[in-house]
């Protein structure tokens, strides 16, 4: 027996970016030939893709942890690391992706539609890429960024054109079995169907799908029976069919009150009010059934329903029914906006990465939040002073120091960059007052260059000061 799984929690991990490489070119007679460390490769994404040959989420129920491969680190000789491989996860048509709070992230309908569930980390730049006119020989490289880690919930909402609803044992599965080639389980006890069945029907030139759901009983929308859980499978259908039992042995039931009960449950569930409906009176092969059908038909028609008398067992009335359904399906398809290109790629919303914020917290800690500063922290190898210095330069250029000062931070105050769980905390040392002069400029190795004449040294120092000044333009620390 195949198990049907229509809701799973999936934990996806994109690949980490490969680290950049710090390397110096070596050749005979030319021992220090300049930086040649390559960039790290990008980490692979985890991508959900609709595949019509997949019908359940069973695979993910068995193996809910999925990871794409990491990018490879860069190497000397300007060799970039290989990108990690994207991990493609096939999902059934009609899979809805939610976050753990229940927000819909994507609704995947149509073969090939895809959703990037976790984005791979960027590779770190190697020291060759970090070199510039002023920083000729960086002795560091950037770290690759970790890939996204995400917990998502996948829910399957069957994509069928027609949905059959009705009491248990009304004959819904029997109808699917005679309208299509599907062979669902059929039996004379209630709740034979535990998961939706799907059948493909051909009527004339129209091909459409029909699904049933487990039988509904009064109170289904409040969780009685199996109904509520499965009603989401009829949410997408364009036509609803009430299957009414004309041969039930329960004395308190008849087709009209059954219809009222089911309609009330659908109303409580919500969202299905606009679907065209028709009524099937089933089991008219039973003598009393035919009489009862004749009796209730005028009432049903008075309520505006088209009524079809059928017998799933004796195969009567099926042709008219299947053509009437084909007609409604064709109309619904025509009314729907032109099917969007089948391949839709949905990416998580791009975040605005220009801004950052500085907040002084209760314990006196200054917290910096922002896409860029947080990314730069992840890229920094804190065991390398030069890399840390480069980070300080970047933060300074973005205006983080300025904002810290505005917020009242003084040398020695604690500064945290990033969220609580994984912030980098350090004692602030404003670069304006730091004794950078004495240390020589960052990213320079004097062995690489001829000693600079005094004039040049002075000019360089001035350029550096100008840069700092620019960063603080309009800022008066005593204001």
Ligand X SMILES: Nc1nc2c(ncn2[C@@H]2O[C@H](COP(=O)(O)OP(=O)(O)OP(=O)(O)O)[C@@H](O)[C@H]2O)c(=O)[nH]1
312 binds, among Mg ion, ligand X, none (CB under 5 to 8 A by kind): ligand X
**Could you say which of 192, 206, 384, 431 contacts ligand X (CB under 6 A)?**
192
Is 129 or 220 the residue whose CB approaches ligand X more closely?
A: 220
Closest contact distance (angstroms) between CB of 313 and ligand X is 4
Nearest distance, CB of residue 59 and Mg ion, angstroms: 26
Binding residue positions for GTP: 166-173, 191-195, 212-215, 282-285, 311-313
Burial (Cβ within 10 Å: 0-12, 13-18, ≥19) of residue 23: buried
Residue nearest to ligand X (CB): 215
117, 158, 122: which is closest to 42 by C-alpha?
122
Give yes or no for residue 180 binding ligand X (CB under 6 A). Answer: no
Spell out a b/e string for 172-187, using b for 16 or more CB atoms within 10 Å of the CB, else e.
bbbbbbbbbebebebe
- Which of 50/284 has CB closer to ligand X? 284
Helices and strands, counts by H and E, the chain: 12, 19
Query: What is the full DSSP assignment across 265-313?
Result: HHHHH-S-TTS-EEEEEE-TTSHHHHHHHHHHHHHHHHTT--EEE-BTT
Q: Which of 23, 39, 114, 193 binds Mg ion (CB under 5 A)?
A: 193
First to last CA, the chain: 77
Residues 252 and 19: their CA atoms lie apart, in Å, by 73
- 180 touching Mg ion, by CB under 5 A: no
Among residues 68 and 281, whose Cβ is nearest to Mg ion?
281
Structure tokens given for 199: 């059948």
CA 416 to chain centroid: 30
Chosen residue from 16, 69, 174, 238 binding ligand X by CB under 6 A: 174
* Binding-site member from 113, 173, 180, 246 for Mg ion (CB under 5 A): 173
Output the six-digit token pair for 393.
Answer: 């330069």
- In the list Mg ion, ligand X, none, the entry touching 113 (Cβ below 5 to 8 angstroms by class) is none
| Residues 265-304, mask of contacts with ligand X (x by CB under 6 A) | -----------------xx-xx------------------
Positions in 93-132 near ligand X (CB under 6 A): none
Q: Which of Mg ion, ligand X, none lies near 188, with the C-beta cut-off 5 to 8 A by kind?
A: ligand X
On whether the CB atoms of residues 272 and 234 are closer than 8 A, the answer is yes
Residues that bind Mg ion (CB under 5 A): 173, 192-193
Residues that bind ligand X (CB under 6 A): 166, 168-174, 186-188, 190-193, 212, 214-215, 282-283, 285-286, 311-313
């Amino acid at each position: 027996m195949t198990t049907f799984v229509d809701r799973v929690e999936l934990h996806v991990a994109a690949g980490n970016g490969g680290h950049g490489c710090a390397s110096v070119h070596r050749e005979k007679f030319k021992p220090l030939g300049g930086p040649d460390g390559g960039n790290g490769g990008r980490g692979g994404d985890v991508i959900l893709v609709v595949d019509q040959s997949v019908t359940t989420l069973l695979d993910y129920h068995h193996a809910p942890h999925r990871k794409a491969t990491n990018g490879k680190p860069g190497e000397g000789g300007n060799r970039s690391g290989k990108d990690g491989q994207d991990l493609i996860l096939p999902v059934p048509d009609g899979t809805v992706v939610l976050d753990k709070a229940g927000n819909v992230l994507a609704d995947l309908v149509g073969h090939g539609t895809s959703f990037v569930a976790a984005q791979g980390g960027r590779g770190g730049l190697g020291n060759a890429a970090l070199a510039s006119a002023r920083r000729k020989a960086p002795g560091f490289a950037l770290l690759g960024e970790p890939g996204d880690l995400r917990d998502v919930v996948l829910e399957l909402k069957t994509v069928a054109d027609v949905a059959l609803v009705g009491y248990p044992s009304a004959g819904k599965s029997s109808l699917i079995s005679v309208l299509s080639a599907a062979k669902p389980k059929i039996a004379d006890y209630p709740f034979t169907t535990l998961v939706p069945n799907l059948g493909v029907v051909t009527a004339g030139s129209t091909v459409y799908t029909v699904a049933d759901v487990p039988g509904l009983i009064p109170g289904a929308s409040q969780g009685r029976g199996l109904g509520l859980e499965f009603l989401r499978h009829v949410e997408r259908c364009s036509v609803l069919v009430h299957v009414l039992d004309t041969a039930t042995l329960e004395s308190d039931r008849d087709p009209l009150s059954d219809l009222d009960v089911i309609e009330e449950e659908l109303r409580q569930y919500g969202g299905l009010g606009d679907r065209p409906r028709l009524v099937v009176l089933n089991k008219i092969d039973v003598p009393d059934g035919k009489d009862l059908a004749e009796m209730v038909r005028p009432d049903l028609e008075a309520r505006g329903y088209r009524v079809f008398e059928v017998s799933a067992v004796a195969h009567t009335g099926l042709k008219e029914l299947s053509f009437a359904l084909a007609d409604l399906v064709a109309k619904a398809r025509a009314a729907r906006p032109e099917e969007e290109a089948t391949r839709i790629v949905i990416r998580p919303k791009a975040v605005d990465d220009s801004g950052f914020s500085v907040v002084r917290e209760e314990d006196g800690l200054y917290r910096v939040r922002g896409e860029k500063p947080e990314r730069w922290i992840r890229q920094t190898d804190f065991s390398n002073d030069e890399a840390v210095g480069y980070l300080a330069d970047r933060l300074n250029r973005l205006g983080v120091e300025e904002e810290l000062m505005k917020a009242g931070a003084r040398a020695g105050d604690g500064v945290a960059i990033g969220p609580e769980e994984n912030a980098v905390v350090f004692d602030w040392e404003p670069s304006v007052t730091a004794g950078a002069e004495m240390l020589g400029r960052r990213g320079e190795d004097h062995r690489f260059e001829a000693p600079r004449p005094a004039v040049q040294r002075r000019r360089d120092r001035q350029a550096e000061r100008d840069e700092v000044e620019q960063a603080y333009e309009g800022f008066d620390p005593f204001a």
